[in-house]
Structure 1
Amino acid sequence: MLNWLEISYTRAILGTALLFAAIIGLLLPAQNPVRAQDIMRIAAVVNDDVISIYDLSARINIVVAASNLRDAPELRRQIAPQVLRTLVDEYLQTQEATRLDIVATDSDVEFTIDQIEQKRGMGEGGFNNFVRVNRLDREALLAQIRAEIAWTKLIRRRLSSAISVGEDEIDEALARLEGSRGQPEYRVAEIFLSIESVNQEREIIDTAENLLRQVRQGAAFQEIARQFSQSATSAVGGDIGWVIVGQLPAEIDA
């Protein structure tokens, strides 16, 4: 997920035994009290930072509530590995942003919360009510928001210094637009789950199929994309935009 920016980082230490322990510890619903051993037990180590079992459980609670998933022990078991991978990537992103002195200010966070309330039709104070009703860890949710803001700032900084559009490219884009006039356009969104090794293939496919079932049963596609997708479009709920036939990869275009 980070390679396209060519960021140098140390991969997280993510042992199978630790991951298994994490999944077993996530079968309890969000209403259960925090246990001291969950705060201390380690799910993953990301360079100098530790992701505890409690951190992982708190994020799964957020994912379930925000995406309107049907909470069940089996669901938690299935999504735990993907949520943990997302957390690991998020920690790596935050570490890189910190290294570059990029931070999410309090005003950034307040603005983002206002945007969330508007987009979800919550009304003023709806964010805090959402946290309270679903018994979520507010600090865990704010940490996720800060991480997303910092990473977005980092990407903008990198892209603003790297992108240079020439006249030929502008002419080519205009020609494509002219050539596609009158053709049907389709609004496309995605949830991208990467398979980093053959051993993960079955697990990732099962997760994808489960998320698809959840969407068909009424779960919020945009929130699932935001929580699970490993594409840059996750920041906008998986929205790719309007496309015409031939613009997407052949296996999708078909």
Structure 2
Amino acid sequence: MAALALGLMALAPAAGAQTVPDDAPLPSTGLDLPSNLQIFGDPNPDVRKPTAVVNDTVITGTDIDQRLAFVTAVNNFELSDEDKLQLRREILSQLIDETLQIQEAKANKIEVTPDQIDRYFAVYAQRNFNKTPEEMTAWLTSIGSSAATVKRQIEGEISWQQLLRQQVQVNVSDDEVRATIDRIREARGTEEFHLKEIYISASTPERQRQVYDAFQQMASQMREGTPFEMLARQYSEATTAPLGGDLGWVRAGMVPQPLAQAAQSMEVGQIAGPIDVGGGFSLLYLVDKRKVLTADPGDARLSLRQMTIRFPPGTAQAQATSLVSAFATATQAMRGCGDVAATAEKIGATVVDNDSMRVRDLPVQLRDTMQTMEIGTATQPFGSLDDGVSVLVLCGRDAPSEPLLPSEDQVRDQIEQQRTSLRAQRMLRDLRRDALIEYR
């Protein structure tokens, strides 16, 4: 189910395309491509049309429209016409991949039954939307989508996973596992970083200027809400592009020195770059950081009560500011968590409890505050006029325990998953190459 969620997040509006100068040296491709060529006939014959036939399976405009409506609603996208067109192209590519995966599974005698799909659909609806299958179906219809588009993606995920289990055999030796555990043990206390990267090559001064401008444009898009991962999938030339640029957890010695130096000076949630890494530039995003096999303050578990006030439509900014000020005064005067219910009733606030929230799962702006707050006190108000204003009341804090070395089975599973993922990428690449796809 995690793969399904990631698949939905993989779709994004486009940033402006960057062009390579005519005289730029060609990268090594293994193909016989002249640097100065002449095109005969239609200069752009492979424009992707809105629908396609994939090995006799038709992908209709309705298929794309319904998936577009779902992705837009789930991610709260506000799309321009140009962005919507690009997103439709991305959705068409995803539907083609799903079709190829389902076809290849059936060719290998793998059948996914309607009952299997319905069970996964029910789990997905409950876990991600807190809805029954019937409620999920009604909601999808209301946004212009359908249960069929979600079930199609579920079928693709199940088919592909079963095919990989059948086709991919990964062997990990005991020596590899022990060597990995030894390296982890030796790295105890070393700082490591969860990084995401967008890399674009640049070998000439003119190309370097273009890449720099491209990164500036990406930074502007991210400030407007476009996720880093989406831009990485579309523009990064690194092998991590299909993963949204995710490098995973790395230590300083595992990445080029310019990236390591940048990571060591960055704060969580910060973006740095463009960083010259020789032959190109990288944009770096620090998702999180920690110390190997050391208790991490970010793993402390909090018991929280959230109080929220909401504003009627049409509330003026001045009136809202006055209400927020009164809200802050009331919450700061509370005498611990036991006073939350009475205060909420008095001021008309709603209350939601969470007894196991990790510090690292909070928004970056609240993490430091929650680590130093006294039990029974409340944060300053936060939120917006549209979504409401909240405070968090800290009712308890459990210190994090020191992590243990992973077991041999855990290390073996991780290595197997990494190798299976690489093999899956190659299999899908081969399916795309051999498929008969007619764009309409």
State the TM bucket, normalised to the shorter chain. Answer: 0.5 to 0.7
> Match of 2:46?
16
> What are the superposed Cα offsets for residues 119-148 of structure 1, whole Å, 9 maximum, x if unpaired?
424243452243133121322221121111
Contact in 1 for aligned 2:111/2:159 (Cα 8 Å): yes
Q: 1:244 aligns with which of 224, 244, 251?
A: 251
CA pair 182-218 structure 1, distance change in 2 beyond 3 A: same
Whether 2:56 is the aligned partner of 1:48: answer yes
Whether 2:140 is the aligned partner of 1:131: answer yes
> What are the superposed Cα offsets for residues 89-118 of structure 1, whole Å, 9 maximum, x if unpaired?
221111101111223233432342243234
**Structure 1 residues not aligned, in runs of 5+:** 1-14, 23-42, 193-201
Rg bigger for which structure?
2
Whether 2:124 is the aligned partner of 1:116: answer yes
In the alignment, the residues of structure 2 paired with residue 211 and residue 65 of structure 1 have an alpha-carbon distance, to the nearest angstrom, of 24
Whether 2:108 is the aligned partner of 1:100: answer yes
Identity value in percent:
28
Question: AA paired with 1:56?
Answer: I
In the alignment, the residues of structure 2 paired with residue 71 and residue 55 of structure 1 have an alpha-carbon distance, to the nearest angstrom, of 19
In the alignment, the residues of structure 2 paired with residue 251 and residue 83 of structure 1 have an alpha-carbon distance, to the nearest angstrom, of 35
In the alignment, the residues of structure 2 paired with residue 175 and residue 184 of structure 1 have an alpha-carbon distance, to the nearest angstrom, of 17
> Match of 1:40?
none
The alignment's C-alpha RMSD in Å is 4.1
CA pair 191-87 structure 1, distance change in 2 beyond 3 A: farther
> What are the superposed Cα offsets for residues 199-218 of structure 1, whole Å, 9 maximum, x if unpaired?
xxx9xxx9xx77993x6555
Question: AA paired with 1:181?
Answer: R
In the alignment, the residues of structure 2 paired with residue 145 and residue 173 of structure 1 have an alpha-carbon distance, to the nearest angstrom, of 34
In the alignment, the residues of structure 2 paired with residue 176 and residue 107 of structure 1 have an alpha-carbon distance, to the nearest angstrom, of 45
CA pair 61-90 structure 1, distance change in 2 beyond 3 A: same
Question: AA paired with 1:16?
Answer: D
In the alignment, the residues of structure 1 paired with residue 96 and residue 136 of structure 2 have an alpha-carbon distance, to the nearest angstrom, of 25
> Match of 1:184?
191
Q: 1:48 deviation in Å?
A: 1.8
Q: 1:164 deviation in Å?
A: 1.2
Whether 2:103 is the aligned partner of 1:73: answer no
Structure number with higher strand proportion: 2
2:167 is paired with a residue of what secondary structure? helix
In the alignment, the residues of structure 2 paired with residue 136 and residue 88 of structure 1 have an alpha-carbon distance, to the nearest angstrom, of 18
Whether 2:153 is the aligned partner of 1:144: answer yes
Structure number with higher helix proportion: 1
1:16 is paired with a residue of what secondary structure? coil
CA pair 144-72 structure 1, distance change in 2 beyond 3 A: same
In the alignment, the residues of structure 2 paired with residue 80 and residue 124 of structure 1 have an alpha-carbon distance, to the nearest angstrom, of 29
Whether 2:188 is the aligned partner of 1:158: answer no
1:164 is paired with a residue of what secondary structure? coil
Q: 2:97 aligns with which of 81, 84, 89?
A: 89
Q: 1:166 deviation in Å?
A: 0.9
Contact in 2 for aligned 1:68/1:220 (Cα 8 Å): no
In the alignment, the residues of structure 1 paired with residue 122 and residue 219 of structure 2 have an alpha-carbon distance, to the nearest angstrom, of 28
> Match of 2:175?
168
In the alignment, the residues of structure 2 paired with residue 211 and residue 63 of structure 1 have an alpha-carbon distance, to the nearest angstrom, of 23
- Per mean C-alpha deviation after superposition, the further-off stretch among 174-183 and 237-246 is 237-246
**Structure 2 residues not aligned, in runs of 5+:** 1-44, 200-209, 263-440
2:116 is paired with a residue of what secondary structure? helix
Alignment map for 1:174-253 (pairs within 5 Å): 174-187=181-194, 213=221, 217=224, 242-247=249-254
Q: Report the number of matched residues.
A: 198
In the alignment, the residues of structure 2 paired with residue 136 and residue 62 of structure 1 have an alpha-carbon distance, to the nearest angstrom, of 6
